[in-house]
């Protein structure tokens, strides 16, 4: 996920596990009424041209509002959806699987954790059933009953549900939300994966237990050297938990870089808006934009997204070219791999702080004189 000419970040020296290149997903819209007789088919442009890289022992946060396409990206990477265009590479090899043995072999290496742990566990089965099934599907149950018991114990211990005998025969409804999510994580670990795709893994949990589950994921990243994609609408947690942060808006990536830089010196006006909307922005960015520079409005329809930059109807820095030309990624130059898809950085020199006039600057005005 490196724009040309961009500085190599420290993370780029670690092994690439999973890559998306130009990932695109358009969902057909079902025709209704008179549309049935029309030859024109409409699509929801849920994901357009998304490229990212997951590396061993690193957490990459994919941040955006509801409907920005981030969960669709996770499902595409898990090969739960067919893609409209683009490529997915596992250790450099293109992979496209739908079902059967090849899908199982892929999901052994790339596992997904869902937002709602209660919905993802079958309420009529115990923890033992869920974990045993995962171990057997992925040939990790061993040959004897003792092997299986040891493997079950190890899984529960790894997700800090100890002593294991206290949890192994419980049903999902007998566990707290945090414990259920730990069981869901243990089930994913039953495959011994290399990459974990965690789709809003703490957003349905009580605030008091979110940190414990994030700390568990961080511990797994370090101990098991996992590549983790952390999908969230909470940019503050991305700074705490992720090594790199990528921001999505209306199906496209608009900014990325190391988490510290993206959250402390946001370059794209949309990232700025996300940070200013966070419950405690003082915790994640020194800068706070004024009301007028923050941007307003709602995300656009993805059936007829705005031409040019999709953020332009909400952007306080909009220029004429923003309405017609799609901005490519521009290097910002103030942090490892920091880029923004925004015409404010078209000359390749400005950064949100150093120019003193970017969206992250104190006066919040755009660099160019083409303001609307
Ligand atoms: Fe998009 Fe233009 Fe605003 Fe940048 S300045 S976010 S390109 S509308």
Residue 199 Cα to ligand 1 midpoint, Å, equals 28
- The answer to whether 48 touches 73, Cβ cutoff 8 Å, is no
Q: What is the DSSP string of 4-41?
A: TTPPPPGGGGSPEEEEEEEEEEEEEPPP-GGGGG-S--
Closest ligand 1 atom to 309 CA: 1
From the CB of 317, is ligand 1 less than 6 Å away?
yes
Which of the four pLDDT bands, split at 50, 70 and 90, describes residue 206?
Answer: confident
Q: What is the pLDDT of residues 280-289, one digit of tens each?
A: 545 445 555 5
Angle between helices 177-189 and 207-224 (to 10 degrees): 20
pLDDT at position 292, please? 52
Instruction: Render pLDDT for 344-361 as a digit per residue (tens, 0 to 9).
Output: 999 864 433 333 334 544
> At 129, which helix (H) or strand (E)?
helix 127-137
Query: Residue 29's pLDDT is what?
Result: 86
Answer yes or no: is the C-beta of 269 below 6 A from any ligand 1 atom. Answer: yes
Asked if omega into 46 is within 30° of 0 (cis), the reply is no
- Tell which one of 299, 318, 355, 364 to mutate to probe ligand 1, the residue whose CB is within 8 A of the most ligand atoms: 318
50 CA distance to ligand 1 middle (Å): 18
Band (pLDDT 50/70/90 cuts) for residue 367 is: very low
Cross-strand bridge partners of residue 59? 228
> Which CA distances in Å does 99 have to 82, 175, 199, 201?
11, 32, 21, 25
Q: Cβ(318) to ligand 1 under 6 A?
A: yes
Please count the other Cβ atoms lying within 10 Å of the Cβ belonging to residue 283: 11
Is 309 a pocket residue for ligand 1 (Cβ < 6 Å)?
Answer: yes
> Nearest CA to 266 among 349, 350, 359?
359
Distance 266 CA to ligand 1 centre (A): 13
Q: Lowest mean pLDDT of 32-41, 101-110, 172-181, 202-211, name the range.
A: 32-41
Query: Which of 268, 269, 307 is the best mutation target for the ligand 1 pocket, counting ligand atoms within 8 Å of the beta carbon and taking the most?
Result: 269
C-alpha 63 – ligand 1 centre gap (Å) = 18
**Beta strand pairing call for 195-199 and 227-232:** parallel
**Separation of 327 CA from ligand 1 center, angstroms?**
8
In this model, does residue 2 exceed pLDDT 50? no
Q: Specify whether the CB–CB gap between 274 and 235 falls below 8 A.
A: yes
Q: How far is the CA of 225 from the centre of ligand 1 (A)?
A: 37
Atom of ligand 1 nearest to the CA of 317: 5
Cα–Cα nearest to 360, from 305, 323, 317, 324: 317
Helices (H), 190-247: 207-224, 235-241
CA-nearest residue for atom 8, ligand 1, is 312
Distance, CA 356 to ligand 1 centroid (Å)? 17
Ligand 1: does its nearest atom lie under 6 Å from the Cβ of 252? no
Measured by CA distance, the residue closest to atom 4 of ligand 1 is 342
Cβ proximity of 11 and 244 under 8 Å: yes
Q: Is 141 in the pocket of ligand 1 (CB under 6 A)?
A: no
What kind and span of H or E run contains 71?
A: helix 70-77
Least confident interval from 109-123, 293-307, 316-330: 293-307
Judged against a pLDDT cut of 50, whether residue 214 lies above it is answered with: yes
d(CA 153, CA 136) in angstroms, rounded, equals 15
Overall average pLDDT of the 67-84 stretch: 95
Atom of ligand 1 nearest to the CA of 312: 8
- Residue 368: its pLDDT value, please? 38
Q: Pairing state of beta strands 85-90 and 244-249? A: unpaired
The predicted-structure confidence for 269-282, as pLDDT tens digits, reads as follows 999 999 988 765 45
């Amino acid at each position: 996920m490196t724009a040309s000419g961009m500085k190599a970040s420290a993370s780029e020296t670690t092994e690439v596990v999973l890559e998306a290149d130009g990932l695109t997903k358009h969902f057909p819209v079902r025709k209704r009424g008179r549309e049935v007789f029309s030859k024109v088919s409409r699509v929801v442009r849920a994901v357009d041209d998304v490229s990212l890289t997951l590396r061993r022992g690193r957490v990459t946060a994919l941040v955006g509002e509801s409907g920005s396409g981030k969960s669709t990206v996770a499902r595409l990477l898990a090969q739960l959806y067919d893609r409209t265009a683009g490529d997915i590479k596992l250790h450099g090899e293109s992979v496209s699987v739908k079902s059967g043995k090849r899908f199982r072999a892929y999901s052994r290496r790339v596992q997904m954790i869902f937002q709602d742990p209660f919905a993802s566990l079958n309420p009529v089965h115990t923890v033992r059933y869920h974990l045993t099934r995962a171990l057997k599907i992925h040939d990790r149950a061993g040959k004897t009953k003792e092997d299986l018991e040891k493997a079950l114990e190890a899984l529960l211990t790894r997700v800090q549900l100890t002593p294991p005998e206290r949890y192994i025969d419980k049903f999902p409804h007998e566990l707290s939300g945090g414990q259920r999510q730990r069981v869901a994580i243990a089930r994913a670990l039953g495959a011994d994966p290399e990459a974990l795709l965690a789709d809003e893994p703490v957003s349905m949990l009580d605030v008091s237990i979110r940190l414990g589950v994030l700390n568990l994921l961080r511990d797994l990243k370090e101990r098991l050297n996992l590549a983790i994609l952390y999908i969230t609408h909470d940019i503050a947690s991305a700074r705490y938990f992720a090594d790199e942060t990528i921001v999505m808006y209306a199906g496209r990536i608009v900014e990325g870089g190391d988490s510290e830089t993206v959250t402390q010196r946001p370059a794209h006006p949309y990232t700025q808006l996300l940070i200013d909307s966070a419950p405690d922005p003082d915790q994640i960015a020194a800068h706070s934009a004024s009301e007028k520079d923050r941007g307003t409005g709602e995300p656009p329809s993805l059936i007829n997204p705005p031409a040019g930059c999709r953020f332009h109807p909400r952007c306080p820095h909009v220029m004429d070219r923003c309405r017609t030309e799609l901005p490519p990624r521009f290097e910002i130059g103030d942090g490892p791999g920091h880029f923004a898809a925004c015409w404010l950085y078209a000359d390749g020199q400005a950064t949100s702080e150093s120019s003193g006039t970017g969206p992250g600057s104190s006066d919040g005005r755009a660099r160019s004189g083409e303001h609307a």
